[in-house]
A and B are shown apart, each in its own frame.
Chain A
Amino acid sequence: MNQDCITMEHVGISFQKKMALDDVNIRVSEGEIFGFLGPSGAGKTTTIKLLSAQLRQDCGQISVMGMEPFEDVSKLYQNIGILSDNSGLYEKMSVEENLKIFSEIYRLPKTRIPEVLEQLHLTEDGKKKAEKLSRGMKQRLLFARAILHKPKLLFLDEPTANLDPSTSEDVHDIIKQLNRDGTTVFLTTHDMEEADELCSRVAFLNEGVIKEVGVPEELKIKYAKDRVKILYTDGTVKEIPKDKTAIAEELLSADKEVVTIHSVEPDLKTIFLDLTGRELA
């Protein structure tokens, strides 16, 4: 069992008397990709701000890599990387110059910049000014900046928002690669397909309250409807109640071969809708 990288216990915070997060409890283990899912305004970014010492909670306990975020901010920032829509670039400077600033701040070896540029497929564009980059390339540069110092924990706040599908796919590959290399990833998104593809566990957040936490596959089974889908060789699909007698009757009466019998599982989007009554947007 991996150690906890993040724990939040009974955490709450309010802004102007409105609860932004209410009694939030989560544990993120080292080495996992944890998805924090919810619609805009659910409290995802607030959670990242609490975990990265940008905000203080009103109540509850937070631990990031074994310490309270404000306990040693310097140590925390040496070990975490953040990519959010609040991340900025020096537009008038080149890709390499942008990274050089942070390389000097972190006192990294000179070899690190070419290494990261290669990892993010930005080697060819190293001399290009940031303002000349496409949105997808800017996102890669922000990624490069966030992982430059090899953080143990990476916070990604909607990393593929406003990106085209091909660039999103590239970003997903980068996240998977980083995770394979041992980085723990805390990912917020409202894209359920993205969460399904990337996350080992997810939490559903709605109006500041955690509605459910679990492994995507287990959640799908947990919230599966009591029905099964039968796929026949001619391509027809029949959905019937998950009942031995009903299944037997259907199979006996059918005059064609069966390909698969599968329980009807909802996707994460449907589960979220069932739990909260809200669409993800």
Chain B
Amino acid sequence: MKLRARIIKALMKKDFRMLAGNKNTFFILLLPILFCVLYTKVLPIGKETGMLYPLLLCEVLNLICAPISLLSMMVAEEKEKNTLRTLIMSDVRAMEFLASKMFVVLLLMEVISVTNYLLVGLDMKFFAGYMLISTLASIGILFLGATVGILSENQMSTGTISTPLMLLLMLPPIFAGMNRVLEKIAFCLPTNAFMEIMNGEYRNKAAFLSGANMKHYAVCLVWIVIGIAVFNIVYKKRGVDSQ
């Protein structure tokens, strides 16, 4: 399906306006930044663990909150308020509608990533790699977030699917050291891949593009493939608007 840049641009403008007027979604976006302030200023845990650890925690939160919770809520909101139907009847293609929301969320995630990085004050030599890997890790999750939006009838119901998915992506990487099972689960997650690559570079164990990190890049790529596949199956089966 051909995507029209002019329509996506118009939709993105609209999505930014919608976000600006919605306190709930604004709070979801701010959450990783608030935690970053908490970890670095109020409870300076980085003094003991190094500044990378709070950054990774907040970035994992960013990788989960925005693509899954925020994106699915944005899609579901337009379904719930019938504005999606109105857009579709105005010659907006479903994929343009979703692409606009995914671009907006991705852009906002990037802004949050930069903000967190600057708040933590980590050496700038890690910055490019950090941005690149977090973006790579986010793509598969973005497709899953859009899928959650397609599957949900309204904003309330997004939580039913998004909460378990968020827990799955967030908890195993954080508690991977506790036992082997969690470690194995964590290995398969893009959030963990992001943490491992960043840890390796920070502790001088493995450079960003070293062979040791290839398995983690592979995990991110597999998640992108899975994300696109699941999205396609659900989209073809349900359509974006199942009314």
Contacts and interface: CB of A to CB of B under 8 A. Distances in A.
A238 B7 CA distance: 66
A104 B13 contact: yes
A73 B18 CA distance: 27
Contacts, number: 60
A2 B192 CA distance: 67
Contact of B89 (A52, A90, A101): A52
A86 interface: yes
A141 to B, nearest CB: 11
B41 interface: no
B82 A86 contact: yes
A145 B86 contact: yes
Contacts of A92: 17-18, 21-22
Interface of A: 52, 54, 73-74, 77-78, 82, 86-93, 97, 101-102, 104-107, 145, 149
Nearest to B87: A105
Contacts of B18: 90, 92-93
A136 B81 CA distance: 18
A74 B21 contact: no
B30 interface: no
30 contacts: A52-B89, A54-B89, A74-B91, A77-B91, A78-B91, A82-B89, A86-B85, A86-B86, A87-B82, A87-B86, A88-B78, A88-B81, A88-B85, A89-B81, A89-B83, A90-B18, A90-B83, A93-B21, A97-B17, A101-B13, A104-B6, A104-B9, A105-B11, A105-B87, A105-B90, A105-B91, A106-B90, A106-B91, A145-B86, A149-B90
Interface in B77-125: 78, 81-87, 89-92
Main secondary structure of the interface of B (DSSP, over half): helix
B21 A88 contact: no
B82 A77 contact: no
B243 interface: yes
Contacts of B215: none
B59 to A, nearest CB: 30
B14 interface: yes
